[in-house]
Amino acid sequence: MRLSTIIKYVVLCWLLISLFSLNAQNHLDYFVKNSTIIANNSQLPLWLYANKHGKVNQKNNFLNVSEISISNTNWNKNDNKIQWNWGGNFLYAISNKNYFQLNQAYLGIEFKGWQLKGGLFYDQEYYDGLSSTNGNLLRSGNARPYPNLRFYTPEYKPLTFIAKWLYFKFEYDEGLLNDNRYVENTHLHHKSIYFLVNSKPDWTIELGLEHYLMWGGTSKNPNIGSFPSGFGQYFRYVLKLNASSDFPEYDQQNAAGNHVGTYQFKFTKYHKLLDYSIYLSHPIETQKGLEWKNWPDNLLGIHVNFNNKSQLISNIVYEFTNTKHQNLTNSLLNDNDNQVWKREFYEDYFNNTAYKSGYTYKQMILGSPLFFNLRESSDDYGNTWYDMESNRFTAHHVGMSGLLLDKIKWKGQCTYIEHLGTFHDAFEFKHKQISALLDLQYTNQHFPVIPGLVFAFDYGNTIETNFGVQVSLSKEW
């Protein structure tokens, strides 16, 4: 990395800290961590790099990562005053190719439960961090944050003018995928709406719809060039209207841009000793997915949260993911003109004909990390990009966490997955994989730092069979 880029990152962090440290009402949180990761192969085990916000480069057998974070997450909330929140996260990694990384740098302003937030920032984590994809096939925390501006409600707000037991929350984002990709400077639009039903105090139901859209940018294919990106075309993208004559011929047959989404469902039951949630995330890639024609494809999970946090097991997660169907079964249409049956388009999750880099950022899946691996592809013009090698799989995932001997926090994850490739390029045989992790942290208020020890391994023929260890020291105050 160039010295000028390093200086730019340091100056940005310094300005951010200096500006907001002047506000005496803000209580600052600090976090520092150093981790050393060693593996016996050229690629790290899955759960040592997946869902780490892109901090860990998987193509290593040795890696040392130093991380510094600062934020004012304990800011004083007052609905009658304008509130500010901000944060930054900077890391430096020593490996076969050293890298600096600004993972977070954001500023938010909130008033009466409505917030505008801009910069690089993480999404909220659910299910004690045990889910394979944070309970959502599209929002896993797997890749680095991209530059983004979000207008949203951080918490549910009541719809009392309709019913006292009905609540809502929503997000509206505009982001930029500024990495090295087939369509340079791709815009990433996102919006979501969730409703919560709470007619009784001991249970809730949540229903949501997520929508992501890649639009604009400049293709490396000289026959395509720049995609329309004017103000008038923006609404054609966002409202998923048919592409006009300004678009490439392929897009004119479909909705403008590359659309992906999910239906979200969660039922939560509260008891005195424990709470449990059953949740579902259903992928949408085309209109057929919106109509639930790919009904077998879902992430289905259950989370049990024991209210006694001092016990050996405090959280349990089980998830089953299936993406094999993709609307191919029973998808024949009668072509009346030629008097033949023809196959409809299948979903082909996270891949796209025009936006060939697909649903990725910095060569990491933006959605569930179980969609692996990424492979390098090329076209007739010598352009290269990374796309999905396999998006058809079934997976069983189990996660647990708790407290051992009163001072050792532990977390375990184990995933069994069978990959089939894609419909366009299917594997000759199933690729099977077991990936597991055991994370131990010693927490003692009389001890100055938190030592951590992580063991992880992959076994199978999808990723190389390998074993890795991570040793860390961290401190927060």
One digit per residue, pLDDT tens: the chain, 477 residues? Answer: 444 454 455 445 544 544 544 444 457 888 999 999 999 988 899 999 999 999 999 988 999 999 999 998 655 555 678 888 899 999 999 998 899 999 999 999 999 889 999 999 999 999 999 999 999 999 999 999 999 999 999 999 999 888 889 999 999 999 999 999 999 999 999 999 999 999 888 999 999 999 999 999 999 998 888 888 877 788 888 877 776 667 766 666 667 788 999 999 999 999 989 999 999 999 998 888 888 889 999 999 999 999 877 789 999 999 999 999 888 755 555 555 555 545 556 788 999 888 999 999 999 999 999 998 888 888 888 898 888 889 999 999 999 999 998 889 999 999 999 999 988 888 888 999 999 999 999 988 888 899 999 999 999 987 778 999 999 999 888
Residue 63 belongs to some domain of the structure: no
What residue has token string 């060939």? 356
| Distances, alpha carbon 379 to alpha carbons 351, 424, 429, in Å | 15, 16, 27
What is the model's pLDDT at position 24? 42
Residues 6+ apart with CB under 8 A from 302: 276, 277, 278, 279, 317, 318, 319
Residue 106 belongs to some domain of the structure: no
What is the model's pLDDT at position 11? 46
Gap between the Cα atoms of 417 and 51, Å rounded: 17
Residue 232 belongs to some domain of the structure: yes
Judge contact between 172 and 151, C-beta under 8 A: yes
What is the model's pLDDT at position 7? 45
What is the model's pLDDT at position 328? 74
What is the model's pLDDT at position 293? 86
Residue 137 belongs to some domain of the structure: yes
Q: What is the pTM of this model?
A: 0.89
Residue 47 belongs to some domain of the structure: no
Residue 281 belongs to some domain of the structure: yes
Residue 413 belongs to some domain of the structure: no
Q: Report the domain count for the chain.
A: 1
Find the domain containing 274 and state its range: 128-404
Judge contact between 189 and 149, C-beta under 8 A: no
Judge contact between 273 and 306, C-beta under 8 A: yes
